[in-house]
Amino acid sequence: MIFESDESGKIFTEVISKKPVEVLIQTTSHLIHGFVHIRPQARLKDEMDQDELSLAVTDAIVYEKKDEILFQSRFLALNRRQIVWIIPYDELVELRQD
């Protein structure tokens, strides 16, 4: 990791640019709509394969059963072990017709 410090000792780290990917995430108990941020040349799968315990989700909406919103948050740290599946919104095809 590259970092610099100023005369007072404050440390500045390199900023890694990422692009937001709109996703739908099914956990063991909830459905989450939000954005996962990935490096520009990476795939969503590459982000999911990281060794970190948590996955950062921004602008998250967490749903309970029957599409009821449980809460909304600008940031959510999601335990990766709780993820059942994840779908990028641009790959989502709705087949159910009510």
Identify the structural domains of the chain with CATH numbers, from first to last: 17-91 (2.30.30.100)
Tell me the pTM: 0.78
Positions in the chain short of pLDDT 50: none
95: which 2 tokens? 């087949």
- Please tell me the predicted confidence (pLDDT) of residue 5: 63
The C-alpha atoms of residue 45 and residue 50 are separated, in whole angstroms, by 9
Per-residue confidence (pLDDT) for residue 6, from 0 to 100: 66
pLDDT for the residue 4: 67
Contact between 92 and 24 under an 8 Å Cβ cutoff? The reply is yes
What distances in angstroms separate CA 10 from CA 6, 15, 16, 43, 45, one per listed residue?
6, 15, 19, 34, 35
Task: List the structure tokens of 77.
Answer: 């740290």
